[in-house]
Structure 1
Amino acid sequence: MSRLGGWLAFALLVVLMVLLMVQIDRQWARMNDMTRIMQEQAEDIRRTRSLLRQLEHNLRNAQFESPTTRVVASERQKPDAFERVREAAEQTDYAAGDWLMLAFGSGIRTLTPLVSSDAYSSEVQNYVLESLLVRDPDTLDWSGLLAEDWVISSDGLTITFTLRRDVNFSDGVPLTAHDVQFTFDFIMNEIIAAPRHRAYLARIERVTALDDYHVEFVFNEPYFNSLQLAGSMSILPQHFYSKYIDDPRTFNESRGLLLGSGPYRMLDPENWTPDQGRIELERNPRYWGPVDPSFDRIVWRVIENDSARLTTFRNGDIDVYGARPREYQRLLDDSSLMERSSHFEYMSPTAGYNYIGWNQERAGEQTRFADIRVRRAMSMLTDVNRIIDEIFIGYAEPAVSPFSPRSPQHDPANQPIPFDLTRARELLTEAGYADRNGDGVLQDADGNNFEFEMTFFQDNEDTRRMVLFLRDLYARAGILMRPRPTEWSVMIDEYQQKDLDASHWAGPRVSR
């Protein structure tokens, strides 16, 4: 017994020593973080003193006001972009701190702005980058963010923004109108791999910094959405990204070049790589907003399997989980989980929509889907109502355009294409397809079977069920569809190269 007691005491001592070492490591990491932040704050103080000396010099020499600052601020009542944040911070149970743990359903190839093309990277960037304006989430009115005011010319061709004077990027460098001009010029530079952004901003003729805090957007023609176009452009720091003008290949192939003025920042804004398996943002200690960011850090883990992601949520290792419809019904019956979590049901105007992309050109040649009759027939064979009822258990609605049916941009004249097997067969016959050998499969005029692959993200169970359901529907019309589960990164590559037959996607919902 004495020997056993000695071993137990020794084991207990070892455990205590390990716990003590872990605690010391945590404290040491915390002290390193505090030291780093204090050094940054000291640099900020020195920079502020320099700015104050310059301001005093300008006042003595009566050079404070430039001609462009004589633009009279508008009388409009502008919504407060931080109203909701203020209200949350005033709640009695509000407490800042802790880490927010989240999960992505697939890995991210790059976090670099402009180069990235997926929704996950955009989610991360939204915490780091900021735009001149944002929309009020309740009224959809514009609120000033980096811009405190703006004036639109009578002909609608010019918008002049007045920038806030208290905004710094997360590395302490002030954000000015020159960064706004640089961002536009950088995007429009053909050597930068940003074709989608260039196409989006093509209506803007030029962007000019009038001085440090006034920037002018000039459009080449009147455009109803010009304020959205100018105000929503994420502003990049010139001092950080300008070096890549001479080295575009490094930028275009980069994985983690992300620095901005937002409430959070990358721990290392230049060296993140996908093989790290997670993305971690820390609170920006220089953030200019009136309320400090809530969490000390935001962390995303990559958990591609839906079931594994749910298990991680059940175990409390991630804080938020977007449940699939069937999962949600089961989770509501889990009393222990419901006691320690909150759940919400809502039809989001920005939640996106599922759609099938029919590739009309592959390897430089037109595919069968280039024929509008074939595409319309495939839409008529896709029984959307049954998909909603049987796959999504009613938690969906037919999408008839990129706009939410509850937005003012929705045209009520647009109606869903109905499921119509008879009319679909007629259209396919008109396009030259028929069962020429009696095997139940349609062939074209050359005797080739109407068959194709449906590419879809392999780790989404709802999508898998949907594609299998569609396979059976299409078979009733004599069409052979082969499901092709694929990794997300491979899907993106094949989409960009047009190297696929058809593919299922979840697209963005546009709500202006």
Structure 2
Amino acid sequence: MNNRSGLFTFMLFLFLAMMITLQILAMKQSDRLYERLNVLLERGAGFTRDEATQTEREKSTKNMPMPKRIGDEGDSLIISLSAEPTTLNHLVTLADTYTSNIVLGNIFERLLEYDRDEIKLKPWLAESYQVSDDGMEVTVKLRDDVCFSDGVPMTADDILFTYQTIMNPGVDAAVKRMFYSKFEDVIKIDERTVKFISKEVLWKTFEVIGLFSVYPKHIYQFDDPEEFNSRRSNPVGSGPYVFEKWDVGQQVVLRRNENYWGHKPKIRKQIYRFITNETAQLQALRSGDIDFIDQPTSEQFDAMKNDKEFNKELKALSYWMPGVPTFYIAWNNKTVFFKDRLVRLAMTHMVDRNAVVEYILKGGGEISTGPFYIYGQQYNKSIEPWPYDVERARELLDQAGWVDTDGDGIRDKNGVPFRFKFSYSTGRAFYVQLAKLLKDAAAKVGVDVIPDPYEWSVFVEKIHNRDFESISLGFGGTIEYDPYQQFHSDQISNRGDNVTGFSNPRVDKLIDIARRTLPPDERYALYHKFHKMIHKEQPYTFLYTRPERAFISRRFENVIIHKVGIDSHEWYVPKEKQKYK
């Protein structure tokens, strides 16, 4: 009996030992399978390895406190916008502009948000997520305490509706649709759970899922896509502010969402005034009619930052952050002028970018050679800017066959004079100065430039319709930039964001490989190669990048510069300084 008992004990011990060993091996195998996803979450998507490998690979915001608000309640924040938004519908292509986004960021919220100081994506409307071992499926559980501003709870149906609206070919959402084209489907598991299914694992997958503005289905559902496209006002979301009114040509007024599920901001109203003239903006700020100017002119910033009278009531802010814009001249590669790389390179050589930085920007910027954040790891620091060289520009134009055959001082080719329009938005003195500089520079090499200004909404529509020869704008706004949107040939048609029409199979292939490359260092090396190729091809002449700058009234306190910028939702005005009820 004792022998049988001892044998049983031994066999039980052996069985348990084998089970433990198998479990350890399974865990190791799972870890190896999951290593690729860990890399994705580690730096490319802003998560740390420890966060990605929690129990059941789940990250939860249960019991996670929302950012608390300090200070007195009340008052209004009046912000100057240099252009009126084209629409207040976040999803349509026309909303892909700074003015629309700055307003709508107060109304709509996303599943994940960047931590302001750690630059990591963390759950927001999501309560938790689970990632499959192969990284192809991400299951998101929604918070149970989120309501839209009309009091209706957010559910999985709203996530599905938003995704299906973006993917509806009749909806004018080409820019947003591009981001979700690599998803096979989004499935509702239950009222609070959805599953995102990818066609392939990309480094940007988590960011794309996370930065997903949720639209309430019961407000926005439609039968005809044009019904959705034409809805440009009265936005409804779950954010800390709600839409009050849009006085066309004057202002958009938001009021605090008193039923907000998170910690309410202290400031009761945000008012966005449309002041297109930069001098008028500064006058309104100094007189107290507005409280905040984003990106004042270089002349204004240089003059005001050390002005004693100005600094008594106002403050100048300046800071670098990932996502600051890179400004450029874009050449429409489909035109007879700029389809040739030699011509585009000649244009870059003829533009004195040092003069742009030193004289127009008053030294408030740095020459850039590509679309990436100049202090980030994607940026190829080994690339030297093409020098200002008028003679070299002339040689390149000669090589491209643009010569002055009739002696009128303007180069021509096949009977077409080299005369092109430089289109830009009105209201910013910089673009007027740039147009003059470009026209003078072009004249030195036998090219005629026609300045072609437009009101902002018209300008944006011309860009989306490719109705231009050259334009100047800037792009940025993301922590790690994916060039697919602006440089891949897939994004030329259907109002995609490759507005220059640039097409190069080698560049396309490199972008595709980089998007599937999860280890950050390997991906950065690929982007360095991409940077070199774009530097050679010059679909854009990259002019400069600059720090974020702003003027703000000293009435506002708790104005903190985080690693990702400033957040007006944490500002407040002490009772004794408040001006508005």
Q: What's the TM-score once normalised by structure 2's chain length?
A: 0.69
> Which residue pairs with 1:473 in the alignment?
441
Query: Is it true that 1:139 corresponds to 2:118 in the alignment?
Result: yes
Partner SS for 1:356: strand
Aligned Cα root-mean-square deviation (Å) = 2.2
1:411 to 380, 387, 393: 380
Q: Distance in 2 between matches of 1:123 and 1:82?
A: 25
SS of residue in 1 equivalent to 2:74: coil
1:387 is displaced (CA, Å) by 0.8
Give the alignment of 1:145-224 within 5 angstroms.
145-224=124-203
Residues of 1 paired with 2:99 and 2:456: CA distance?
11
Q: Is 1:312 matched with 2:277?
A: no
Q: How does 1:12-51 map to 2 (within 5 A)?
A: none
Shift of 1:260: 0.6
| C-alpha distance in structure 2 between counterparts of 1:200 and 1:81, whole Å | 29
Report if the CA contact (8 A) 2:324-2:373 is conserved. no
* Shift, 1:458, TM fit: 1.9
Checking the alignment, whether the CA contact within 8 Å between 1:157 and 1:218 is kept in structure 2 is yes
Does structure 2 conserve the Cα–Cα contact (< 8 Å) formed by 1:81 and 1:145? no
Give, in angstroms, the shift of residue 251 of structure 1.
Answer: 1.9
**Cross-structure match for 1:399:** 368
Any stretches of 5+ residues in structure 2 without a counterpart? Answer: 1-53, 481-581
Q: TM-score, normalised by structure 1?
A: 0.78
| Aligned match of 2:237 | 260
CA contact (8 A) 1:98 1:295 kept: yes
2:301 aligned residue: 328
Matched residues in 1 for 2:106 and 2:65: separation? 14
1:127 corresponds to which of 106, 116, 136: 106
Contact residue 139 and residue 194 of structure 2 kept, 8 A: yes
CA distance in 1, matches of 2:460, 2:129: 38
Which of 213, 220, 227 in structure 2 is aligned with 1:250? 227
The answer (yes or no) to whether the contact 2:278–2:296 under 8 Å persists in 1 is no
How far, CA to CA, are the matches of 2:62 and 2:352 in structure 1? Answer: 43
Q: Give the drift of 1:333.
A: 4.7
Q: Percent identity?
A: 31
Q: CA–CA distance in 1 between the matches of 2:478 and 2:385?
A: 18
Higher relative contact order, chain-length normalized (CA < 8 Å, sep 6+): 2
Displacement after TM superposition at 1:267 (Å): 2.3
Q: How much has 1:238 moved relative to structure 2?
A: 0.9
CA 1:76 to 1:179, structure 2 compared with 1: closer, same or farther past 3 Å?
closer
Contact 2:131/2:137, CA 8 A, preserved across alignment = yes
Match of 1:507 in 2: 475
Report the Cα distance in structure 2 between the residues aligned to 1:343 and 1:146, rounded to whole angstroms. Answer: 34
C-alpha spacing 1:391/1:79, structure 2 compared with 1 (3 Å): farther
CA displacement at 1:417 relative to structure 2: 2.9
SS in 1 for 2:281: helix
**How far, CA to CA, are the matches of 1:418 and 1:349 in structure 2?**
26
Q: What is residue 492 of structure 1 aligned with on the other side?
A: 460
Query: 1:330-387: CA deviations, max 9, x gaps?
Result: 22353222111122222233331221121233xxxx4211112211211222222221
Cα separation, 1, equivalents of 2:374 and 2:324: 12
Supply the distance in 2 between the matched residues of 1:256 and 1:277 (Cα, whole angstroms): 14
CA deviation vs aligned residue, 1:120-179 (integer Å, no higher than 9, x gap): 111111100011001112221111100122122111111111211110011001011221
Matched residue of 1:471: which SS?
Answer: helix
Listed one character per residue, the Cα deviations across residues 287-325 of structure 1 (whole Å, up to 9, x for unaligned) are 111x22121110011111111111111110110123211
1:423-447 Cα shifts (integer Å, max 9, x gaps): 322221121111223343222132x
What are the superposed Cα offsets for residues 181-203 of structure 1, whole Å, 9 maximum, x if unpaired?
11101110112111111112101
1:445 alignment counterpart: 414
Cα shift at 1:77? 9.0
Task: Say which SS state the counterpart of residue 265 (structure 1) adopts.
Answer: strand
* Separation (CA, whole Å) in 1 of partners of 2:116 and 2:367: 24
Q: Distance in 1 between matches of 2:325 and 2:195?
A: 33
Quote the Cα distance in structure 1 between the aligned partners of 2:277 and 2:249. Answer: 18
Q: Give, in angstroms, the shift of residue 462 of structure 1.
A: 1.6
- Specify every segment of 5 or more residues in structure 1 that has no aligned partner in the other structure, as ranges: 1-70
Shift of 1:482: 1.6
**2-structure distance, mates of 1:233, 1:137:** 18
Paired with 2:366 and 2:372, the residues of 1 have a C-alpha distance of: 13
Any idea what the Cα deviations from partners look like across 1:186-226, whole Å, max 9, x if unmatched? 11011211111111210111111211121110000111111
Partner Cα distance (1:223, 1:217) in 2: 13
Show the 5 A alignment for 1:103-114: 103-114=80-91
Q: Aligned equivalents of 1:80 and 1:425: distance in 2?
A: 66
Which residues in structure 2 correspond to 1:285-364 (within 5 Å)?
A: 285-289=258-262, 291-321=263-293, 322-361=295-334
